[in-house]
């Protein structure tokens, strides 16, 4: 895998772009703290961008399965570059509406970029290397997130928000150049059982439903993904709230760092942990750990407890996502990858929006600590209910190709 030129291009591009992305996110938080006092209003701004991404999901799936994934990645990268221009206008005029337009354009680009990338990885590496590639790819993104947030925090002390977004724009430009350097014969690699003509006739999401019915393990993982989304959906708002709760602006960077370092640890050792073990059982174990981390947020007014909670969450997440990605990439037929990953992306975004709005509303009404108890109990109920269901139908989950015996 490490002799593969495309692997290094993807990882280096992801690292530089990740620096730009998370530098921009810290800039977004700083901008909203200056102009948007309400947590609920902050969530509405983020909601606008996510909604645009969801609406683009069906189109993105068809485009990814119809055209070369490298081409889709290039256009999506260009879209990111254009979106940053709107943030310059937001800073210049102190306008929330320009920031909303920035979020909309950025999320539309993401709706095409991330499903295309997930579809491209199984083409670039062999199946036996997928778990390792997914773990390394997520680690690279996390290192970029840790460095990006720390760098942005330091830059804000000596630089303006405008300069921060210039750095972000340069990083997106590098991503576009690195994507252009990819050399992949997609027509041969990505279509083992179809041809280009058939590919261009691909339908929409309705074709995914029958496929999923025959893959209960994929449905199980999709359901379990709800649990980490309850934490991730309001992640930035919770970071801001914890900073205000502890009256400490430096805690924001430390929380991102604690979660990121522990995520990298989990993603680094996930291949060793999963070898010879039942992946579905591990998924339940890690989602249970995530539910516990949500309950531990009740103690977020204590500095050390908030850091430990975010670290524990990051560790569980570092195990969870590489396993989930590998299951999706190997169980779902490649000719459906574009539509499936867009479908999954759309589901994630819808759930993310619900959690985001719910988090903003709950933070304004009951506060972070009570909200943590509510989300934690919901997560535990989901894990228990679906684990009991898993026990009753264990033979189906372990043999996903047997779909008529359910």
What's the distance, Cα to Cα, between the start and end of the chain in Å? 38
How far is the C-alpha of 341 from the C-alpha of 331, rounded, in Å?
12
- Lowest mean pLDDT, pick from 26-40, 219-233, 275-289, 299-313: 26-40
Query: Going by C-beta distance under 8 Å and a sequence separation of 6 or more, which residues neighbour residue 54?
Result: 111, 346, 349, 350, 353
Most confident of 81-90, 216-225, 237-246, 287-296: 287-296
* pLDDT confidence band for 127 (50 / 70 / 90): low
DSSP assignment, residue 204? -
Residue 102: predicted pLDDT: 86
Overall domain count for the chain: 1
The stretch 278-283 carries a mean pLDDT of 79
d(CA 302, CA 305): 5
DSSP assignments along 310-376, one per residue: HHHHHHHHHHHHHHHHHHHHHHS-GGGHHHHHHHHHHHHHHHHHHHHHHHHHHHHHT-HHHHHHHHH
pLDDT at site 52: 80
pLDDT at 193 over 70: no
Q: Is the pLDDT score of 404 beyond 50? A: no
pTM of the entire predicted model: 0.67
> Per-residue confidence at 394, pLDDT binned at 50, 70, 90?
low
Residue matched to tokens 């003509």: 197
Angle between helices 96-124 and 337-365 (to 10 degrees): 140
Confidence band (pLDDT; 50, 70, 90) for 312?
very high
- State residue 289's pLDDT score: 92
Of 5 and 229, the structure prediction assigns the larger pLDDT to 229
Residues counted in the chain: 406
Helix (H) or strand (E) holding 305: helix 303-331
What is the residue whose two structure tokens read 């773990």?
Answer: 135
Distances (CA, A) of 200 to 117, 121, 188, 340, 343: 19, 21, 15, 16, 18
- For the beta carbon of residue 285, count every other beta carbon within 10 angstroms: 16
Q: Is the residue at 406 inside a domain?
A: no
The answer to the question of residue 44 being in a domain is yes
Q: Is residue 196 part of a domain?
A: no
The packing angle between helices 130-158 and 303-331, to 10°, is: 140
Parent domain of 358: 5-183+205-397
Q: Is the pLDDT of residue 382 over 60?
A: yes
For the segment 306-326, the average pLDDT, to the nearest whole number, is 87
Q: Count Cα neighbours of 32 within 13 Å in the Cβ-side half-sphere.
A: 22
* Whether pLDDT at 9 is above 60: yes
Q: Is the pLDDT of residue 298 over 70?
A: yes
The yes-or-no verdict on residue 162 having pLDDT over 70 is: yes
Rg (CA), the chain: 21
CA distance 55 to 49: 10
| Residue 120's CATH number | 1.20.1250.20
The arithmetic mean of pLDDT across residues 159-171, rounded, is 78
Most confident of the ranges 129-133, 323-327, 375-379, 391-395? 375-379
- Highest mean pLDDT: which of 169-178, 273-282, 377-386? 377-386
Q: Average pLDDT for residues 281-291, to the nearest whole number?
A: 88
pLDDT-above-90 percentage for the chain: 4
198-248: pLDDT as tens digits:
444 445 566 777 777 777 778 878 888 888 888 887 887 888 888 888 877
Using the predicted structure, report yes or no on whether residue 188 has a pLDDT greater than 60.
Answer: no
In this structure, is residue 198 part of a structural domain?
no
Domain assignment present for 86 = yes
- The yes-or-no verdict on residue 187 having pLDDT over 60 is no
What is the tally of helices (H) and strands (E) in the chain? 19, 0
Tens digits of per-residue pLDDT, 15-45? 777 777 777 777 777 787 777 777 777 777 7
Would you place residue 403 in the very low, low, confident or very high pLDDT band (cuts 50, 70, 90)?
Answer: very low
Q: Report pLDDT for 1.
A: 62
Tens of pLDDT along 63-75?
A: 877 778 888 888 8
């Amino acid at each position: 895998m490490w002799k593969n030129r495309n692997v290094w291009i993807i990882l280096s591009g992801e690292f530089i772009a990740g620096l730009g992305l998370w530098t921009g996110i810290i800039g977004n938080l700083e901008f909203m703290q200056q102009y948007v006092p309400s947590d609920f209003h902050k969530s509405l701004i983020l909601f606008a961008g996510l909604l645009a991404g969801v609406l683009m999901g069906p189109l993105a799936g068809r485009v990814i399965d119809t055209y070369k994934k490298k081409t889709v990645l290039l256009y999506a990268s260009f879209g990111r570059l254009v979106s940053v221009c709107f943030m310059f206008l937001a800073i210049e005029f102190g306008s929330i509406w320009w920031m909303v337009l920035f979020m909309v354009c950025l999320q539309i680009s993401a709706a095409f970029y991330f499903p295309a990338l997930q579809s491209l990885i199984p083409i670039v590496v062999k199946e036996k290397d997928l778990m390792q590639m997914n773990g390394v790819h997520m680690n690279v993104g996390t290192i970029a997130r840790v460095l990006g947030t720390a760098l942005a925090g330091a830059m804000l002390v000596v630089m303006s928000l405008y300069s921060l977004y210039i750095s972000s724009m340069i990083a997106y430009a590098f991503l576009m150049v690195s994507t252009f350097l990819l050399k992949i014969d997609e027509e041969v690699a990505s279509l083992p059982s179809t041809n280009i003509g058939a590919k261009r006739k691909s339908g929409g999401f309705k074709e995914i439903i029958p496929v999923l019915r025959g893959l209960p393990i994929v449905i199980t993982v999709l359901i379990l993904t709800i649990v980490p989304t309850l934490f991730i959906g309001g992640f930035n708002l919770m970071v801001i709230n914890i900073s205000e709760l502890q009256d400490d602006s430096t805690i924001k960077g430390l929380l991102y760092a604690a979660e990121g370092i522990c995520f990298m640890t989990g993603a680094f050792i996930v291949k060793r942990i999963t070898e010879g073990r039942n992946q579905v059982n591990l998924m339940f174990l890690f989602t249970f750990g995530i539910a516990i981390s949500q309950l531990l947020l009740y103690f977020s007014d204590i500095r050390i407890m908030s850091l430990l909670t975010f670290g524990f969450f990051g560790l569980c997440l570092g195990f969870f996502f590489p396993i989930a990605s590998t299951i999706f990439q190997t169980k779902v037929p490649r000719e459906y990858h574009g539509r499936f990953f867009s479908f999954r992306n759309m589901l994630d975004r819808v759930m993310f929006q619900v959690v985001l709005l719910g988090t903003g509303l709950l933070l304004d009404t009951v506060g972070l600590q009570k909200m943590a108890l509510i989300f934690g109990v919901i997560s535990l109920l989901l894990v228990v209910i679906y684990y009991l269901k898993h026990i009753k139908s264990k033979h189906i989950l372990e043999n996903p190709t047997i779909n008529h015996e359910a």
